[in-house]
Amino acid sequence: MKIFLISLSLIFFPLSLISHGSVGSSAHKPDAPRHMDFPNPKGYVTVISDLHTHTAFSDGHVWPPIRIEEAIRDGLDLISLTEHLEYQPHMQDIPHKDRNRPFKEATQATGKHDLLVINGAEITREMNKDYNSPGHINAVFIKDANKLYKFDENKIEEASNLVKWGQDQEGKVMEFYAVTNLWPAENAIREADKQGAFLFWNHPSWTAQRSDGIAILDPIHEKLINEKLLHGIEVINGGFYSEEAFQIALDNKLTVMGTSDVHNLIDWDYEPHSGGHRPVTLILSKARNEDSIKSALFSRRTVVWYKDLLIGEERNVDMLVKACLEISSASYMYSSSVLRVRIKNNSDTKFTLKNNSGFTIANDDDYIEVPPQDTVTIEVNTLERLSKIDLDLQVLNAITAPKENLSLTLSKRIE
Ligand SMILES: [Zn+2]
Ligand SMILES: [Zn+2]
């Protein structure tokens, strides 16, 4: 069936545009183990999370236990299955009255594993300022997904004035989407907030909703932020990185988020067997339990790991990178003033460092690569024999604002 749009006030896009989140490979090391590993900064636990995923309960193509199995293989600590509440392309085959089912299925599937699963949903609207329509908003830590959408049969006629549908399967999907879209997004968001949800704006630069690919706040977003109904924003979604979204996060004190938004298989989208990984949000939590993690999200203690990049507020990136990198040893060669410095990387991301100290390096240029879970040795010309080295570095893969990198000093007493 074709969808006929008969109104100029076009609020509905073709349904085929709603599916997204697939990416090309981001492989970085052919034989790297799949399990993700990051150290804990002092006083915190690094919780590895993916809070935006889909299953066959909306427009994903797998059943919840597959998402759980993938998460366990990837070494995630926390996951949420966030189904579109309104876009239900499998509704004729998988009619489910209880929208908490994917959460229950996922929770059962974790078995004895210590993977944390939280209930979540994607409130799915067009992005249209004339209709106060904010796009897609994820609500996680919700208590009841059934209260976050409304299908009002009395609204079918009103919806049919905006969009026509047939009686076949696709028509029913469209009817459901159109009618549920008439319930204001703000009502769903307020209900989620009432349930104590953490709410974040998904893929704000998605080209199906922003044709120039630039994230920008509409009045509805400003209103939600002012009323503290919007707490985070995706800077990374699947294969998309939005610098504008990052700037919006910094300017409006929103939590920096990165998610896979996976619909297919993680293995197909990210090729973890070849060293790739899904984008994740590293949450710096006081403890590894739901209350602490939720509080860390509201306190904006996150760093996104995307390809080899670590993206977040400076205070968080600084804390995490300091846990990842250290000088494991520093000693002079013979009686010379050439200092042999070993830099150790305790994490699964590759670091690219730039020497910003006044010293020259005897065995490399100013750009130093430290592979994941590995150590490199540089030889530093200190000119005189020091008792302590302070190595000023720029961390090129650690992004603290658009176009800005983390500056870091690694120090070590010389043996
Ligand atoms: Zn979405
Ligand atoms: Zn999604």
Instruction: Report CA(20)–ligand 2 centroid distance (Å).
Output: 7
Instruction: Report CA(19)–ligand 1 centroid distance (Å).
Output: 8
Instruction: Report CA(356)–ligand 2 centroid distance (Å).
Output: 41
Asked if 222 contacts 6 with a C-beta cutoff of 8 angstroms, the reply is no
Instruction: Report CA(196)–ligand 2 centroid distance (Å).
Output: 21
Instruction: Report CA(406)–ligand 1 centroid distance (Å).
Output: 31
**What amino acid occupies position 295?**
S
Residues 264 and 350 in one domain: no
Confidence of residue 117 (pLDDT cuts 50, 70, 90): very high
Portion of the chain with pLDDT greater than 70, in percent: 92
- Which residue from 318, 308, 314 is spatially nearest to 402, judged by alpha carbons? 314
Confidence of residue 130 (pLDDT cuts 50, 70, 90): confident
In tens, the pLDDT along 41-93 reads 999 999 999 999 999 999 999 999 999 999 999 999 999 999 999 999 999 99
Residues 184 and 123 in one domain: yes
Confidence of residue 163 (pLDDT cuts 50, 70, 90): confident
Instruction: Report CA(282)–ligand 2 centroid distance (Å).
Output: 19
Q: Which ligand is nearest to the CA of 127?
A: 1
Confidence of residue 139 (pLDDT cuts 50, 70, 90): very high
Give the Cα separation of 197 and 191 in Å (integer). Answer: 9
Instruction: Report CA(202)–ligand 1 centroid distance (Å).
Output: 6
CATH of the domain at 333: 2.60.40
Coil, helix or strand at residue 345: strand
Q: Does any domain span residue 315?
A: no
Q: Does any domain span residue 316?
A: no
Residues 331 and 271 in one domain: no
Instruction: Report CA(81)–ligand 2 centroid distance (Å).
Output: 9
Instruction: Report CA(149)–ligand 1 centroid distance (Å).
Output: 15
Q: Which of 277, 307, 337 is the last residue of a domain?
A: 307
In what order do the strands lie in the sheet containing 325-332? 325-332, 338-345, 375-381, 360-361
Instruction: Report CA(83)–ligand 1 centroid distance (Å).
Output: 9
Q: Does any domain span residue 312?
A: no
In tens, the pLDDT along 178-222 reads 999 999 999 999 999 999 999 999 999 999 999 999 999 999 999
- Residue 162 has a pLDDT of 87
- Which residue from 327, 302, 255, 257 is spatially nearest to 44, judged by alpha carbons? 302
Give the Cα separation of 224 and 117 in Å (integer). Answer: 26
Instruction: Report CA(344)–ligand 2 centroid distance (Å).
Output: 37
Instruction: Report CA(122)–ligand 2 centroid distance (Å).
Output: 6
Instruction: Report CA(122)–ligand 1 centroid distance (Å).
Output: 7
Q: Which ligand is nearest to the CA of 83?
A: 2
Asked if 36 contacts 76 with a C-beta cutoff of 8 angstroms, the reply is yes
Tell me which residue range forms the domain holding 395: 325-413
**What amino acid occupies position 332?**
Y
Residues 252 and 174 in one domain: yes
Residues 289 and 381 in one domain: no
- Per-residue pLDDT averaged across 95-112, rounded? 95
Instruction: Report CA(406)–ligand 2 centroid distance (Å).
Output: 31
- Which residue from 233, 193, 236 is spatially nearest to 216, judged by alpha carbons? 233
